[in-house]
Amino acid sequence: MLQRYWFGDVDEEGCRAAGTDPAALAERAAALRTGMDSFVPIKWEIARDCGVVRTREEYVDLLRSVCIALARKKIVQSYQGRDVELLQMVRMLDELDNVINLLQERAAEWYQVTNPSFSRKYRSLPAKKMLGIIRKGARGGLSDVADEIDRLAGTRSRLMREVSARADEVMPNTSALIGGLVAARLLSKAGGLETLARMPGSTIQVLGSERALFSHLRGGTPPPKHGIIFQHRRVHNAPKDVRGRVARVLAAKLAIAARLDYYRGEAVPEFLKDAQARIDDAGVEA
Amino acid sequence: MIRLGNVLVSPGEGGVYGERTLDGYRVWDPYRSKLAALYTLGGGIELTPDMRALYLGAANGTTVSHVADYVETVYAVEFAPRPMQDLLEVARRRRNIVPIMADANRPEEYAPFMEAVDLLYQDVAQPNQVEIAERNLVFLKPGGHLILMLKTRSVDVRRDPAEVLAEARTGLEKRLDIADVRWLDPYHHDHAAIVCSRRE
């Protein structure tokens, strides 16, 4: 029975070595297909008798170089997808949000003790505006911190535009239905475009509401209607009694869109037109 | 296994992941490594310098590095690219680790590199853990040992861990003799170690 090993082919007649160059061996090994029914584990002595190596040490050394070369190649391949960087971008964006909020809260607390007459009650004070007040009013360390927060906020908005643009490019159909940012967040939650494309609509619908989902599955609580997709206006603007329906229909269409994005990689206008109409219908109260 | 007092250690070059060293030995923390937990709890198979091991689910190479300190050769299988980068760095410094980037579900991917091993160690977060072990038995010598770290929550979060373990035992008993089963509390929750040997 012919056995195809990484160092060469072995059968009853003997052994044909495939050389000793790690790169060439790696390339050959990547193409090997083994049937497990007839597989016999390697005895390293065969490689010695074959003339590939002289000692056990040499055997492991050469095998290691081949496997490391192969692994490097596979790592490079797996990072080639356009979605891999988008994933990191959107995760960084969400982390920036967290950090900026934390810093802002802390800065406001600090400003409040240095300025007894300052209060956030009875006035709508968006973060941006409050930061402006602090930057103007504070001195020393606090004002440095406020400047830094402001710079971070600028970085954040630039990154957000970048995420949105990249999402439009990487997942055109999904982005067209739900917007680049939310599409990218779905991608990040799923872990990749391929994983997202393999998800059923029902999973996409509750991505990001795992806590509510598992507390529901464990018993008692009502099931979540929506996860990340709630961030899309068509879901959160929908009247409460049809919101679940909108979320369900939207998620179902997103599942199709993600597959189109993964397998075709370009926008499909006919699909988008139908899908948009169907989602709009779902939002009309019966 | 080497113990200093009651601290489990392994011999070898330190500094792999910031582990503590004690009298020139690397401390092997049971809270970080499930295998260390198993040894600390008094179970497991003695690792010896003539052993060859197949390690499924090698991740960042933390536990792999300790195993490599004890045995002759470790075949370390991992399929996610991120941890593989770390594993390659560990393998670069330890010449008895053969890092293999492949899916433990598909042994045919790495069979052309494999010799028969004395120890099959499996720690993978997959629902079909028993099936994966069965598929890899082809690499285990008769009389060799399988240590399966059963992550019951990966099999099914909704089911009772004890139930999941019972089912895994029945599955493994078909082809293996079970030598020892224990939970890894207090070090790791809902994780069980199943030690089996392959029939001669």
- Which DSSP string do the residues of B53-100 spell out, in sequence order? EEEE--TTSHHHHHHHHHSSEEEEEE--HHHHHHHHHHHHH-TTEEEE
Residue A247 within a domain = yes
Provide the 3-class DSSP secondary structure of residue A14.
strand
Tell me how many degrees the CA angle A46-A50-A53 measures, rounded to the nearest 5: 85
Are A245 and A219 part of one and the same domain? yes
Determine the average pLDDT of the residues in A161-174. Answer: 94
Q: What is the pLDDT of residue A63?
A: 96
Question: What is the tens place of the pLDDT at every residue in A21-38?
Answer: 999 999 999 988 888 888
CB contact under 8 A, A60 and B95: yes
Q: Yes or no: say if B193 and B149 are a contact pair by the CB < 8 Å rule.
A: yes
Alpha-carbon distance B187 to B29, whole Å? Answer: 10
Residue A176 belongs to a domain: no
User: What ipTM does the predicted assembly reach?
Assistant: 0.94
Strands B117-122 and B140-151: parallel
Q: Residue A131 in contact with residue A156, Cβ under 8 Å? A: no
Q: A142: which 2 tokens?
A: 């606090």
Query: Does residue A213 carry a pLDDT above 80?
Result: yes
Whether A153 and A190 map to the same domain: the answer is: no
Of the candidates A124, A140, A170, which is a domain's last residue? A170
CATH number at residue A222: 1.10.246.90
User: Tokens 């406020």 map to which residue?
Assistant: A146
> Domain end: A29, A58, A80, which one?
A80
Q: What are phi and psi of A276, to 5 degrees?
A: -60, -45
> What pLDDT band is residue A1 in, cutting at 50, 70 and 90?
confident
A58 shares its domain with A141: no
- The string of pLDDT tens digits covering residues A183-207 is 999 999 999 999 999 999 999 999 9
Q: Residues near B181 by Cβ (< 8 Å), separated by ≥ 6?
A: B165, B169, B192, B193, B194, B195
Cα separation, B119 vs B139, in Å, equals 9
Q: CA-CA distance, A35 to A115, in Å (whole number)?
A: 76
Q: Is residue A270 part of a domain?
A: yes
Give rounded-to-5 percent helix, strand, coil for chain B: 30, 30, 35
Q: Are B51 and B119 in contact (CB under 8 A)?
A: yes
Q: Residue A180 domain-assigned?
A: no
Q: Are residues A21 and A88 in the same domain?
A: no
Please, what is the angle between helix A82-114 and helix A180-190, to 10°?
Answer: 110
Distance of CA B102 to the CA centre of its chain: 16
Q: Is B91 flagged in the annotation as binding?
A: no
Which stretches in chain B have pLDDT values below 70?
none
Domain residues for the domain of A15 are: 3-80
For residue B57, CA distances in Å to A147, A274, A278, B73 come to: 46, 45, 44, 16
Report the share of chain B in percent with pLDDT over 70: 100
- A131 is a domain residue: yes
Residue B136: predicted pLDDT: 96
Within-domain flag for A181: no
Interchain proximity A32–B157, CB inside 8 Å: no
User: Do residue A33 and residue B158 have CB atoms under 8 angstroms apart?
Assistant: no
Q: How many domains does one find in chain A? A: 3
B62 assigned binding-site residue: yes
Over its C-alpha atoms, chain B yields an Rg (Å, rounded) of 16
From the list B81, B95, B113, the residue facing A67 with the nearest CB is B113
What would the mean pLDDT of A232-243 be, rounded to a whole number?
A: 89
Q: CB contact, 8 Å: A35 with chain B?
A: yes
Q: Do A68 and B112 touch (CB under 8 A)?
A: no
Tell which A residues from 80 to 119 touch B, by Cβ distance under 8 Å: none
> Residue A36: which of B91, B108, B158 has the nearest Cβ?
B108
pLDDT surpasses 70 at A286: no
Categorise residue B99: left if φ over 0, alpha if ψ from -120 to 50, beta otherwise.
Answer: beta
Are residues A102 and A148 part of one domain? yes
Q: Do B81 and A75 touch (CB under 8 A)?
A: yes
**A254, part of any domain:** yes
Where residue A127 falls among pLDDT bands split at 50, 70, 90? Answer: confident
Are A92 and A161 contained in the same domain? Answer: yes
Same domain flag for A76 and A89: no
One domain for residues A119 and A138: yes
Between chains, do A71 and B115 touch, taking CB under 8 Å as contact?
Answer: no
Shared domain for A110 and A38, answered yes or no, is no
From the list A32, A36, A60, which residue is nearest B73 (CB)? A60
Q: Mark yes or no for CB contact A217/B158 under 8 Å.
A: yes
Cβ–Cβ gap A68/B108 under 8 Å: no
User: Do residues A7 and A58 share a domain?
Assistant: yes
Task: Please say which residue of A126, A144, A170 terminates a domain.
Answer: A170
- Residue A218 shares a structural domain with residue A281: yes
Is the minimum CB–CB distance between A42 and chain B shorter than 8 Å?
A: yes
pLDDT band (50, 70, 90) for residue A119? confident
Asked if A53 is an interface residue toward chain B (Cβ–Cβ < 8 A), one would say: no
pLDDT in tens, A268-285: 999 999 999 999 999 887
Residue B83, preceding bond cis, omega within 30 degrees? no
Q: Structural domains in chain B?
A: 29-198 (3.40.50.150)
Shortest CA gap B154–chain A (Å): 14
Residues of chain A contacting residue B138, judged by C-beta atoms under 8 Å apart: 36, 39, 41
Number of Cβ pairs < 8 A linking chain A and chain B: 74
Nearest to A6 among B84, B95, B113 (CB): B113
Shared domain for A24 and A109, answered yes or no, is no
Note whether residue A138 is domain-resident: yes
What is the rounded distance in angstroms from the CA atom of residue B34 to the CA atom of residue B8?
13
Residue A225 is classified by DSSP as S
Q: Is there a binding annotation on residue B129?
A: no
